[in-house]
Amino acid sequence: MNNSVNIFEGDRAINYDEFVQCWIPNYDYFISTLPQMLKSVCEKEILVAGCGTGNEILAFAQAKEDWSITGVDPSPEMVSIAKKKLHHYKNIKLIKGEVTQLPTNELFGAATLLLVLHFIKDDGSKLQLLKEIAQRLRPGSPFVLMSIFGNKTELKKNLEILKQLLSPFLNKEDIDERIDRITNTLYHDTEERLIKLLIDTGFEKPVRFFQTSIYGAWITKKV
């Protein structure tokens, strides 16, 4: 598993917030919906796996619903940025590391995994990460997943849509380089594969509730 972790460092970490704003249409709107999506959770202890710079944690912290939040990310630079962003808020624990480092006897009432899975090879590593998350959730706890998805045809069409939605001020070479990276080096799955991964790791069949170009989001529950 450790060999499969994609750690954001240097410019990738520093520029992450700017990147998601440029490359994920309606990103802010999506993040803002998460506290509402999980509002009915009774045990308001949430695991944010791959928390990055803490954007979804900030949304939960600002929801004023007394969430107790644990964020985990393998990148020390991303965690450092998150700590600066979130230092005014209480009940937040940020951990530099992986989900495997968390005890399995302390269970959460909800979890998220956003924009992580397409960086992980489908060689057992995706399956293992989802299992690790499931092991740390109470039965019936909701889990929100966001990832790049689609078969080759769907991905190609949705990339064309994404290009139409990008800022006209972005450099064409940067756009072409990023599109090539998405197409040829990331480990995106079809929706059918994502559903199977979730079911095989102890979750119910998920429902896709959000999509913006190549990015989809699903909600499911721990069986």
What pLDDT, on the 0 to 100 scale, is given for residue 72? Answer: 98
From 58, 46, 112, select the one nearest 84 (Cα to Cα): 58
Q: Where are the alpha helices (DSSP H) in the chain?
A: 10-14, 16-23, 27-37, 55-62, 76-86, 125-135, 152-165, 172-184, 191-200
Q: Where does the pLDDT of residue 2 fall: very low under 50, low under 70, confident under 90, or very high at 90 and above?
A: very low
Domain 2-221: CATH superfamily, name plus number: Vaccinia Virus protein VP39 (3.40.50.150)
Q: Where does the pLDDT of residue 5 fall: very low under 50, low under 70, confident under 90, or very high at 90 and above?
A: low
pLDDT in tens, 191-217: 999 999 999 999 999 999 999 999 999
pLDDT at 7 over 90: no
Q: Which whole number is the average pLDDT over 120-133?
A: 98
pLDDT at 177 over 90: yes
pLDDT at 223 over 90: yes
The string of DSSP letters for 157-210 reads HHHHHHHHHS-TTS-HHHHHHHHHHHHHTS--B-HHHHHHHHHHTTBPPPEEEE
What pLDDT, on the 0 to 100 scale, is given for residue 201? Answer: 99
What pLDDT, on the 0 to 100 scale, is given for residue 4? Answer: 57
